[in-house]
C-alpha cells in the first residue's frame, strides 16, 4: 500500500499530543512535517510539547516553529484547560529540545508545493500558520489534497463563548481567511467531540493500561479532566484533536456530513470566532466546507486503542 502523506499543524497540548501519536504510529501515514502555532499555549511550549511527543514514539519527523501569535491580536491561551505546561502539569521534562527550523509556515508551504495533490493537511490549533501560508503562496489552494481542521462548531454552543470554539476564536481573522480561501476544507468541530469523543473514567483506565503510550495519553489529561468536570459538565474528558485526526486517517468513520457554505465572524464582540453554517442555502453562496455532524464512536475508539497500544 502506498503511504499517504500528511502534514500536521498544532498548538500542542493534551489532546493534540494524542492526535500526534495516532498519526506518527500509523504505518499507512507518512508525516512529512509538523508545524507549531501558538494557541493552547505559547509557541515555545507548543514546540517543546510536540518534540516530547515525537521523541516518545521514536519518530524523527521534523518539527518546525510557526507563528507566535494571532494575525491581528494578542495571544490568549488555554492554560486553565490544559495546564501551565499544556500537558497536564504532571512533571514531564518539556524543555531543551531543538526544533528542525523556525520556519514553520515555509515548511508547510514547501511540503504542499513539493508534493502537489498529495498532502493531507491536518490543523489542530488556530489557523494562523495556514492563513500566512495562503498569503505567501496562494498556489497551495490547488496543490493541497485536503485540509481537515479541528475548529468551529456545526451545532452550538461553543466552548470558549456561547457562540465560538477556541481555535477559531483565538484567531478569527485567520479562520475567516482559510475558510473563504477555496481550499478543500473539512470542519471537525468541537460539537462532534462532545458527542462522540468523550473518554469516561472507566475507559480512561482501560486505555491507560495499554502501556507506556496509553499511560502518557491519559495522564496528561489531568487538568483537562477537572476542567471538563467543572466547566463543560462532561462525564469524563473529550479529545477533539484526536477525533479530527481519526477523521483525517479514516474519512469513512464519518456517518453524517453535508457540504455547506461556512463563514467565520472576525473582529471582536460577542460573535467573535463564530462559525456560520448555511444549512438552508440562504446566502446563495456555493458550499465551501465538508461539515461533519456525526462519526462512528466505536471505530474512533478502535483507532485510538490501536494507536496507544505499545508494540510487542
Q: Are 109 and 31 in contact, with CB atoms under 8 Å apart?
A: no
In angstroms, rounded to a whole number, what is the distance separating the alpha carbons of residues 17 and 216? Answer: 9
pLDDT given at position 312: 60
pLDDT given at position 3: 87
In the numeric block, which cell numbers belong to residue 84? 501551565
Q: What angle do CA 233, 238, 242 make, to 5 degrees?
A: 165
Question: 72: domain range?
Answer: 4-308
Task: Point out which residues pair with 256 in neighbouring strands.
Answer: 294
Q: Measured between alpha carbons, how far apart are the two ends of the chain, in Å? A: 23
Q: Are 224 and 81 in contact, with CB atoms under 8 Å apart?
A: yes
pLDDT given at position 311: 75
In angstroms, rounded to a whole number, what is the distance separating the alpha carbons of residues 273 and 158? Answer: 10
Residues 6+ positions from 63 with CB-CB distance below 8 Å: 33, 34, 35, 36, 47, 50, 51, 54, 99, 100
Residues 6+ positions from 47 with CB-CB distance below 8 Å: 12, 36, 63, 65, 99
Residues recognised as catalytic: 11
Residue found by looking up cell 478502535 in the block: 302
Q: Are 5 and 121 in contact, with CB atoms under 8 Å apart?
A: no
Cα Rg, the chain, nearest whole Å: 18
Q: What angle do CA 205, 211, 214 make, to 5 degrees?
A: 55
In angstroms, rounded to a whole number, what is the distance separating the alpha carbons of residues 21 and 18? Answer: 5
Q: Is the pTM of this model over 0.95?
A: yes
Residues 6+ positions from 43 with CB-CB distance below 8 Å: 36, 37, 65, 66, 67, 68, 69
* Phi and psi at residue 47, to the nearest 5°: -70, -45
Q: Are 222 and 89 in contact, with CB atoms under 8 Å apart?
A: yes
b or e along 183-217 (b: 16 or more beta carbons within 10 Å of the residue's beta carbon)? bbbbbbbbbbbbbbbbbeeeebeebbebeebbebb
How would you write the pLDDT of the chain (312 residues) with one tens digit per residue? Answer: 578 999 999 999 999 999 999 999 999 999 999 999 999 999 999 999 999 999 999 999 999 999 999 999 999 999 999 999 999 999 999 999 999 999 999 999 999 999 999 999 999 999 999 999 999 999 999 999 999 999 999 999 999 999 999 999 999 999 999 999 999 999 999 999 999 999 999 999 999 999 999 999 999 999 999 999 999 899 999 999 999 999 999 999 999 999 999 999 999 999 999 999 999 999 999 999 999 999 999 999 999 999 999 876
In angstroms, rounded to a whole number, what is the distance separating the alpha carbons of residues 215 and 29? Answer: 23
In the numeric block, which cell numbers belong to residue 109? 508551504
In angstroms, rounded to a whole number, what is the distance separating the alpha carbons of residues 225 and 200? Answer: 9
Domain count, the chain: 1
CATH of the domain at 10: 3.90.245.10
Residue found by looking up cell 453562496 in the block: 285
Amino acid at each position: 500500500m502506498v503511504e499517504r502523506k500528511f502534514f500536521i499543524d498544532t498548538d500542542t497540548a493534551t489532546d493534540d499530543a494524542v492526535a500526534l501519536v495516532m498519526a506518527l504510529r500509523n504505518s499507512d501515514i507518512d508525516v512529512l512535517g509538523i508545524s507549531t502555532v501558538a494557541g493552547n499555549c505559547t509557541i515555545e511550549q507548543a514546540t517543546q510539547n510536540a518534540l516530547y511527543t515525537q521523541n516518545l514514539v521514536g519518530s524523527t519527523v521534523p518539527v518546525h516553529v510557526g507563528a507566535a501569535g494571532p494575525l491581528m491580536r494578542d495571544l490568549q491561551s488555554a492554560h486553565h484547560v490544559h495546564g501551565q505546561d499544556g500537558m497536564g502539569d504532571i512533571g514531564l521534562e518539556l524543555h531543551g529540545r531543538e526544533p528542525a527550523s523556525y520556519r514553520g509556515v515555509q515548511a508547510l508551504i514547501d511540503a504542499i508545493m513539493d508534493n502537489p495533490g498529495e498532502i493531507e493537511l491536518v490543523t489542530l490549533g488556530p489557523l494562523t500558520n495556514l492563513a500566512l501560508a495562503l498569503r505567501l503562496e496562494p498556489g497551495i489552494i490547488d496543490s493541497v489534497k485536503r485540509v481537515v481542521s479541528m475548529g468551529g462548531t456545526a451545532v452550538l454552543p461553543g466552548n470558549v463563548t456561547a457562540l465560538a470554539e477556541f481555535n477559531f476564536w483565538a484567531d478569527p481573522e485567520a479562520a475567516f481567511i482559510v475558510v473563504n480561501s477555496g481550499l478543500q476544507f473539512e470542519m471537525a468541530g468541537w460539537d462532534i467531540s462532545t458527542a462522540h469523543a468523550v473518554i469516561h473514567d472507566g475507559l480512561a483506565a482501560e486505555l491507560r493500561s495499554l502501556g507506556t503510550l496509553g499511560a502518557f495519553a491519559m495522564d496528561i489529561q489531568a487538568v483537562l479532566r477537572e476542567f471538563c468536570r467543572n466547566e463543560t459538565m462532561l462525564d469524563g474528558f473529550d479529545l477533539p484533536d484526536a477525533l479530527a485526526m481519526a477523521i483525517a486517517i479514516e474519512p469513512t468513520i464519518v456517518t453524517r456530513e453535508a457540504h455547506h457554505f461556512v463563514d467565520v465572524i472576525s473582529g471582536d464582540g460577542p460573535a467573535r470566532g463564530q462559525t456560520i453554517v448555511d444549512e438552508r442555502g440562504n446566502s446563495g453562496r456555493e458550499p465551501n466546507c465538508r461539515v461533519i455532524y456525526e462519526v462512528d464512536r466505536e471505530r474512533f475508539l478502535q483507532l485510538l486503542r490501536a494507536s496507544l497500544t505499545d508494540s510487542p
